[in-house]
Amino acid sequence: MKEEQRISKILETLKKDHPNAKCTLYFKNPLELLVATILSAQCTDQRVNIVTNSLFKKYRSAKDYANASLGQLEKDIKSTGFYKNKAKALKFSAQTILKEFDGKVPNTMGSLLTLRGVARKTANVVLGNAYGITSGIVVDTHVTRVSQRLGLTKNKEAKKIEEDLMRLIPKKDWILFSHLLIAHGRAICTARSPKCGVCHLNKICPSAFKV
């Protein structure tokens, strides 16, 4: 099977197996998604959603985060881990949003990368899921693991993995593709005990039954 055909089969299978794959962070606007994504570093989406359920009622605008004391922000997000750095990221990125972007989360990669605590992964999440802008492919631990096992990349660095995937995956599928790999990584291609026996990709996966 040619690689182009294999990629097409991977996409077809994942779309069929995970028809409801989407961003699992709760948000109603770009600011909420930005905050949730910053908090999701080294933390489960489930935990983040618990924290933001009350956080989003208390902080409703960039101004609210910008004017909050670091101490209070730390208390409000403590259970997400690394809360001191995350509190600084929320406060200082909000200040930049107020000063440079008229209080609105920017919708370009270059502008988002000027915000404290925002790298390509976070920017891709916000652009793709809040604005519907195809800027790249989100690379998290699930995407890294599953794409490596599927033989889509041999790289370990997120930026290089993203570059490999963007060369292989049709641009129209970039936003969805990360959701598909994350859903597959959580349900089937788990870190410790991948369920290769029931995986519908096992016939075209070079790692099937070998991990």
Alpha helices in the chain (DSSP H): 3-17, 30-39, 45-58, 62-67, 70-77, 83-100, 109-112, 120-130, 141-149, 158-168, 174-187
Active site residue 121: yes
For tokens 């976070």, the residue is: 122
Q: Which of 17, 45, 140, 173 is catalytic?
A: 140
Q: Which of 45, 121, 159, 195 is catalytic?
A: 121
Alpha-carbon span 93 to 171, nearest angstrom: 29
The candidate with the shortest Cα–Cα distance to 199, out of 146, 144, 142, is: 146
Question: Which residues, 6+ apart, have CB-to-CB distance to 193 below 8 Å?
Answer: none
The candidate with the shortest Cα–Cα distance to 140, out of 184, 86, 109, 99, is: 184
**DSSP string of 148-167?**
HHTTS----SHHHHHHHHHH
Active site residue 102: no
Alpha-carbon span 142 to 156, nearest angstrom: 12
Alpha-carbon span 99 to 93, nearest angstrom: 10
Which residues form the catalytic set?
A: 121, 140
